Chains A and B, each alone.
Chain A
Amino acid sequence: MKRLFTVVAALLLAVLASAQAFTGGIKGSVVSRAGRVPVPGAEMTLSQDGKVLAEISSGAEGEFLIEGLANGVYQLDVKADEFSDLTVFVTVDKGFIKDLIFVSLTPAAAIQEADESNFAEFDMDDSGYSDAPTLLLGSNDVYTNVAGYGFSSVRFKNRGYNSETQDVYLAGVKMNDAITGYSPFSLWSGLNEAMRSKDTTIGLETADEGFGGFNGVTNLHAIPTSVRTGWRFSALSNSALYRLRLMASYASGENNGWSYAFNASVRMGGNDWIEGVYYRSFAYYLGVGKRLGDGRLSLVTFATPGERGAQNASTQEVYDLMGDNMYNSNWGYQNGKVRNSRVRKTFEPVTILKYEYTPEDIPLTANATLLWRTGSNGYTALDWYDAMDPRPDYYRNLPSYYYMEDEDYNRVNQDKYEWTTYAWTQRGGEYDNYQHLNWDRLYNVNYHNAEGRSKYALEERHVDQNDLQFAANAKYKVSDDLMVRGGLNLRANRTENYKKMNDLLGGRYFLNIDSFAERDFAANEALLQNDLDYYMAHGSAEKITRGGKYGYDYLAQIRVADIWANGSYKFGQLTAEAGLKAGMTTFWREGLVRKGLFAGRKVDGTHIFATDINGNMIDLTNLSNGQTSYGASEAAKFFTYAAKASVAYDLFGNSRVSANLGYFNDAPTFNNSFISPRTRNTIVDNLTTQKTFSADLNYQIASEFISARVTAFYTKIMDQTDVMSFYDDSQQSFTNFAMTGIDQRHMGIELGVKVPTPVKGLSVSGVLSLGEYIYTSTPHMVQTVDNSAEVVRDAEVTYWQQHPVYVPVDYTAAGVPVYDENLDGTFKVDHYQKHYVPSTPQFATELALNYRTNSYWFFELNGQYFDRAYLDMNPLYRTDTAARGSESNPAIISDMAYQEKFDPAFLLNASAGKSWSIQRKYYLGFSLNVSNILNNRGVKTGGYEQTRLISSVGKDRYYRFDAKYFYMQGANYMLNIYFRF
């Protein structure tokens, strides 16, 4: 490679030939923003009014020169591997060569391959473990780059916030799930090239596309003109998720007003750590754009059809027996082949029509987008009727069920303990059937059924969305000092939730009745019906065959409308900004089948009757306890609003201080608003909006010597609701648990610093997130029996926020602790132990070394340390019921209510990469990443407490079941090789 810059295109020669009279030009050097390291071989395209004038590459020192330009404004697009694309506008006047000095590019290497698929899909349906992975997308901010991707291995949540607080937009439309609020990265995972171009704000900042909340806005551009032009092919292999990803993309750029882009990929295979977890996923993206008048119309459609095997959490006892914290109980051998019972199968195409209006004569940009998401999303699971629980790690299959050292647990059979331990610790052959799903047995049970009725089957739980959205936004520069932005969002979501028969496992049909109801209401067949109308019409329950809908079937109907406006005013070095948002959210449930237990009334308002086992007429409407499963529920309506204000002051030396404030009144999500949406229309009592107050204070600097941001934040979230269903041993029945009035407070500091070193190309960066995220209220709970809607508890979750700790002052001769008492006879509390917002480290830090050479090599080495992560709490253990016996033994409160804190973790990661150019036309490169080099396999990343209770021998107190955990994988590699032209 010569030290001279190169003029490549014949086009340029032509331009030069026809423009010899012009003496103007542009020159400068392309450098990396951090450390000013030259970037050789950057591709640069010069254009004017959409017409390409020149295509060149930067020289070995990053330098470039374009001569022979007429006076005027030019657009210079700069692209380089491992850097984010950059566009600058340059004015050439008076015939001079304009010296840009430095054209700074932002490294993109660290964020390049971040996508949702960096996370194994956790099995959350049965666990109450309800957080989707959080992922901030890349930006130029040092902190955000690391927190968003580098910390993802421990499931770090920025500032402790849940995933749904992060607004994710696609082409200007807010994509957060209408039902859960989660950011739906899986909709476009595998389309890294098409979705690479994006804008990101952090914290309380407002974006052009939307008002945003308190945890940033990310907008993926997603239109064809935002896809990198040219062809690109890549092959990626990694040991963490799938073996192989092959991807191709092409974008035309804009020619004669038309633009085209496509991106397709396939992800296949298993991984080194978790058996049963695999990908067989495809992805496609097709887009076309056309200039129309003063704007551009784009039409895009994409989807990621495919399937993925899921992982499940187990108790530490199981992991220890298996000698593996990566044990996955979801799979077993069928005819010698690994088969996973939990497979997510999705095909959810998204179609976007977007118009961007950019008139030349007024300082206005306006966009309008229509977006439609449809398709199907299924998740398989074993279903069984009147048969043994088939899960290998079911608690009755574990040694601890038979023997525990503490006799008070009443588990005293050592022989059974030893037999069971033996079954779990031998390997291979018949022992696989104790340690993994025993598919052979499930089939044989079905074979043996004389009528061909399947007792075990594989169900597919569907959440099929139809989401239609319209969003418009505009940005108008009133004067040099004043800018106004505003927008409108409309959403109509209709989501069908149902079960479908996926596999009858050797049987011929599965009967559509409710086995939980049968236990309690065997005398009245009508009450067992999942589809009462079918039963009434046919005299028996439906025999479900493959592909048939059964179990439950209801629509979630959601309507959202909101408008927002924001203005910012610049007054010298001071910028002030304020904004308001207001809207309405309405949602209701619409039952498509009538369940026997909650028959309600007929359409004409009359009662429904059925005969019971003794031939008596039973009024099912009266038995419904005022509930109904069929038809539309009452609509929950919420007026929502939000307000934001911020000031920023520019200081000397490229630094700035800023402060943001925000208050939000948001609607609860659908999934936390219905007590038991699978069976009935009942809305949680006292359902109200969630209120959030948030404030932050920032200092930023971006100079030659340092690039840094430090932020202090304070957020209070109030009136959250949580709904769960579980078997309650103290009630001996399956119950629904609705908790309202949950408040939390998040405060802390975050810091990101990057400094160049005296060694050319070497820079050091450090990131710190230190916070305290705690619960600050005593929520209220209403517990109902799932089968009857009978309220069994209506009380406070006494020990949710904190629990008292009692310290013994003495011990009796028998070793019984003695506690100090108050005058009124109650025990003296030593102190109160706070409870923390779980599943994220509240202390996270990273120190990284970055090295970039002139010959296109890059290296990074980083060390990370995480601490103060806590286990998700189940509310049952924090109730007075669970604390039974604490009047005489106060230690029981701590035993039941304490919250587990995870051990701290240290991780070491490294990456390297290089790119080559072939004839300056073709580019070949690779990047290699090795994470968790120390192969640390003891890092808990999350989990949940089981909602089960163990009664003591004397039945005078309860003990907990063991918690279930997810662990981080050990050392992993990811190798990506790409080729583009």
Chain B
Amino acid sequence: MKKSIIALFALAALVSCQSLKEEFQPVFTSFYKYPARYQADTLKTTHTIAQLVSLYTPETPLTIKDDIVISGVVSTTDQPGNFYKSFFIQDETGGIEIKVGKNSLYNDYLPGQRIYVYCKDLTLGMYGYKTGNYGGMGMAQIGFSDPSGTYETSYIESQMIINEHIFRGPQEFPVVPVVVDSPSRLPDPKTATQSTNNLVGKLVTFKGLKYANENFVLLYLDSTKDKKAYSNRVFLSDSNGLEKDGARHSITTWAMSESKMKEHLLAGDWDDAKVGSGNTMLMDDAGHEVTLGALKGDGTYPTVEKAAYSVSQYFTLGGTEIQVRTSGFCKFCDVEIDPDILSGKKTITVTGILSLYQGSIQVTVNSLDDFVVDE
């Protein structure tokens, strides 16, 4: 009997042995002191952005093996939602997008903050490069390798990779945009990169932009299906024969939220747009091209997904085309563009990141305040 009792006690002691020390330590539940503020990091910069980008050859993503460090000041914010999961930094030689891959980055990487990027194991790639006569340069970016082959880089995304490669320096002053008021200063979108032109990727103010009465949207019938299938795509562009409002397709906002898109669709604004991609158009059984109007059904366009869409509104600067590209998820996407701008009566001043896409010049603004109507 005694033995069994002792055994029981021994067992009990054994069980709680692991934590015997802290066994009766009280749990802290009173006021938690504020954590310390983050200390600014400093790294020794080895390359300028231009020097880094010069290592890149189009269509050959480069995973960096050397201890390269670049540094720059944050020039964008994803707060209004026109930038998404990434931000740009710029030094005197150019600007570059860091594809961090997290939401609401402006909370952690503030506009005007110095950032150091330790590039080893990250990938330098390009988005928007297209060969051929209608192509040209895209934008060199820093991201991570993309074994799926969808893009040249993927988002960095994994928090530990971010923490080991992107370092936050001190808060400096907000970036002052470079003013561009004549096309002569613009980079050649067929050939320019950050390594050859110091405006690429930088925050730029374009003065005197005139509306070109044209825009561009790519719709998907079902975004949960293959986005590259021609039968899933509808281009709203000048080549797709939309008659209403010329090439403008009655889109008079900077972009379209889901409700705005639905409004256009149900109003029949795009009924003559054809389903298809490039030279391959979707045909019905009778051999006719399928238009959005043919998918009207009971008036709700049941097979057309209602979603938010980015829009490129086309402007010109002294004859050179500049696309203002705005996301359908940004907070000002449904803002109506002043009719005087759309009619060409007034020009505007736009501040945003100068970027290249398939040989054209695009500008992406941070917020609605970046559009100023010239009086």
Contacts and interface: CB of A to CB of B under 8 A. Distances in A.
B29 A278 contact: yes
A447 B332 CA distance: 27
Interface residues of A, number: 72
Interface stretch (B43-51, B134-142, B152-160, B286-294): B152-160
Nearest to A399: B158
A522 B161 contact: no
A906 B146 CA distance: 47
Contacts of A971: 15
A523 B333 contact: yes
B8 A388 contact: no
Interface string B19-54: 100011011110011111110000000000000000
A243 B160 CA distance: 36
A971 B332 CA distance: 58
Contact of A518 (B23, B108, B121, B331): B331
Nearest to A613: B335
A522 B82 CA distance: 12
Interface in B324-369: 329-336
Contacts of B104: 386-388, 455
A909 to B, nearest CB: 12
Interface string A320-363: 00000000000000110111000000000000000000000000
A472 interface: no
Contacts of B121: 415
B133 interface: no
A614 B16 contact: no
Contact of B257 (A396, A410, A520, A951): A520
Contacts of B160: 419-420, 422-423, 434
Nearest to B63: A415
Given A423-B160, A928-B12, A307 B29 contact: yes
Contacts of A930: 8, 11-12, 15
A335 B35 contact: yes
Contacts of A522: 81, 257, 330-334
Nearest to A271: B19
B5 interface: yes
Interface stretch (A20-28, A437-445, A669-677): A437-445
B207 interface: no
Interface string A802-828: 000000000000000000000000000
A128 interface: no
B59 interface: no
B79 interface: yes
B35 A334 contact: yes
Contacts of B37: 444, 447
A528 B171 CA distance: 32
A968 to B, nearest CB: 15
Nearest to B81: A522
Interface string A376-395: 00000000001111000000
B145 interface: yes
Contacts of B12: 928, 930, 973, 975
Nearest to A956: B225
B320 interface: no
A788 B81 CA distance: 22
Contacts of B4: 859
Interface string A432-474: 0010000111011101110000010000000000000000000
A955 interface: yes
Given A410-B148, A412-B148, A280 B81 contact: no
B64 to A, nearest CB: 13
Contacts of A430: 163
Contact of A443 (B11, B28, B34, B334): B34
A444 B16 contact: no
A182 interface: no
Given A396-B157, A413-B145, A414-B147, A951 B224 contact: yes
A520 B259 contact: yes
Nearest to A444: B38
Contacts of A449: 107
A412 B147 contact: yes
Given A243-B24, A307-B29, A447-B37, A730 B154 contact: no
Given A520-B259, A521-B257, A912 B27 contact: no
Given A415-B145, A434-B160, A973 B16 contact: yes
B245 interface: no
B103 A280 contact: no
Contacts of A334: 32-33, 35
A920 interface: no
Nearest to A442: B35
A539 interface: no
Interface hub of A307, A423, A951 (most chain B Cβ within 10 A): A423
Contact of A614 (B26, B103, B107, B334): B334
Contact of B27 (A280, A387, A447): A280
A397 B157 CA distance: 9
A280 B26 CA distance: 10
Contacts of A402: 157-158
B25 to A, nearest CB: 8
Given A397-B159, A416-B161, A973-B15, A270 B27 contact: yes
Contacts of A335: 32-33, 35
A272 interface: yes
Contacts of A455: 104, 107
Contacts of B147: 412-414
Interface in A930-981: 930, 933, 935, 951, 954-955, 971-973, 975
B67 interface: no
Interface string A416-434: 1001101100000010001
Nearest to A417: B158
A795 to B, nearest CB: 15
Contacts of B336: 614
A66 interface: no
B144 interface: yes
Contacts of B110: 448
A244 interface: yes
B27 A448 contact: no
A156 B154 CA distance: 47
A445 B108 contact: yes
Nearest to B14: A971
B92 interface: no
B224 A523 contact: no
A419 B79 CA distance: 28
Contacts of A519: 329
B11 A416 contact: no
A6 B28 CA distance: 51
Contacts of A439: 32, 35
B154 to A, nearest CB: 6
A413 B9 CA distance: 52
Contacts of B370: none
Contacts of B9: 928
A495 to B, nearest CB: 27
A710 to B, nearest CB: 33
Contacts of A420: 158-160
Contacts of B8: 910, 912, 928, 930
21 contacts: A309-B27, A388-B107, A412-B148, A413-B144, A413-B146, A415-B121, A420-B160, A434-B160, A439-B35, A441-B108, A444-B35, A506-B34, A520-B257, A521-B259, A522-B330, A522-B333, A523-B260, A523-B331, A523-B333, A614-B336, A732-B223
Interface of A: 239, 243-244, 268-270, 272, 278, 280, 307, 309, 334-335, 337-339, 386-389, 396-397, 402, 410, 412-416, 419-420, 422-423, 430, 434, 439-441, 443-445, 447-449, 455, 506, 518-523, 612-614, 730, 732, 857, 859, 910, 912, 928, 930, 933, 935, 951, 954-955, 971-973, 975
Given A239-B16, A244-B24, 13 more contacts: A243-B24, A280-B29, A410-B148, A413-B147, A441-B108, A443-B34, A444-B37, A522-B334, A523-B257, A523-B259, A523-B333, A912-B5, A955-B226
